[in-house]
């Protein structure tokens, strides 16, 4: 895998999925990386919530390429999100729920964790939040992967230009896991990139606003990343 279409924060704007499909057809990426945020908030009735996830997973699963997805902070209760994702994976073999799970494909290992990161709080019912210890446990499979390149998907940005003060735990995980690429979907609409050692960190912006990113690792370093705007 060398070419990636990077997105996050659909935030209930499901019409953006059709535009995402058009970009996939035009650019033909090796993979799509979605760093969380299907629901805009967690106040929806259960039936509407399940329908929203079903719609999003159908749109992402129909892209026809390897697609890795993690939940966002509002994609709760987590057990219902994972159940909906599991059902979608049966119908769409290219769709992969990478939340706390590693998928290996063509020399690349992809794993992620949706939600906020805190020092000591775990919540999966009304808001998705993980403590540092739990997050380390769920992401530990990245240490064991023998693939030459690791990709980490997170819903928070590290300290620096992508997230202002940022989340220091995210920064620590990048230092610990040394992924080649870390994709974030921070709560701010900011998009951009930064380097932490040899890790490229990318926030593609909100797909709900028509923002996403294109990464081609086969190009020179200063030409690899391009930010796109859907019309």
- Domain boundaries in the chain? 3-229
Q: Of 145, 66, 132, which Cα lies nearest the Cα of 154?
A: 132
Model pLDDT for residues 181-230, shown as the tens digit of each residue: 999 987 666 789 999 999 999 999 999 999 999 999 999 988 999 999 98
The Cα–Cα gap between 26 and 21 comes to 9
Model pLDDT for residues 78-130, shown as the tens digit of each residue: 999 999 999 999 999 999 999 999 999 989 999 999 999 999 999 999 999 99
What's the CATH code, domain 3-229?
3.60.21.10
Q: What distance, in Å, lies between the first and last C-alpha atoms of the chain? A: 27
Mean pLDDT of 146-167: 86
Token output for 102 = 């590693």
Please tell me the predicted confidence (pLDDT) of residue 166.
84
What backbone phi and psi angles, to 5 degrees, belong to 168?
-65, -25
Please tell me the predicted confidence (pLDDT) of residue 187.
65
Mean pLDDT of 30-41: 95
**Average pLDDT value over all residues in the chain:** 93
CB 207, CB 13: distance < 8 Å: yes
């Amino acid at each position: 895998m060398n070419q990636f279409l990077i997105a996050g924060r659909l935030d209930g704007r499901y019409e953006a999925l059709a535009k995402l499909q058009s970009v996939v057809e035009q650019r033909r990426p090796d993979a799509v990386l979605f760093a969380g945020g299907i629901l805009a908030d967690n106040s929806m009735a259960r039936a509407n919530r399940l329908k929203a996830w079903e719609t999003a997973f159908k749109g992402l699963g129909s892209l026809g390429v390897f697609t890795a997805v993690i939940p966002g902070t509002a994609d709760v209760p987590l057990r219902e999100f994972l159940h909906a994702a599991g059902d979608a994976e049966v119908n769409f073999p290219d769709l992969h729920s990478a939340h706390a799970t590693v998928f290996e494909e063509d020399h690349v290992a992809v794993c992620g964790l949706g939600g906020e990161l805190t020092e000591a709080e775990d919540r999966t019912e009304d808001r998705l939040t993980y403590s540092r210890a739990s997050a380390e446990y769920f992401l530990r499979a990245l240490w064991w992967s023998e693939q030459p390149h690791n990709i980490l998907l997170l819903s928070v940005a590290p300290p620096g230009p992508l997230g202002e003060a940022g989340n220091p735990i995210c920064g620590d995980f990048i230092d610990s896991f040394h992924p080649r690429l870390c994709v974030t979907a921070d709560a701010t609409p900011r998009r951009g990139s930064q380097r932490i050692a040899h890790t490229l960190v990318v926030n593609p912006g909100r797909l709900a606003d028509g923002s996403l990113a294109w990464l081609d690792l086969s190009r020179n370093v200063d030409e690899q990343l391009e930010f796109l705007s859907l019309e």
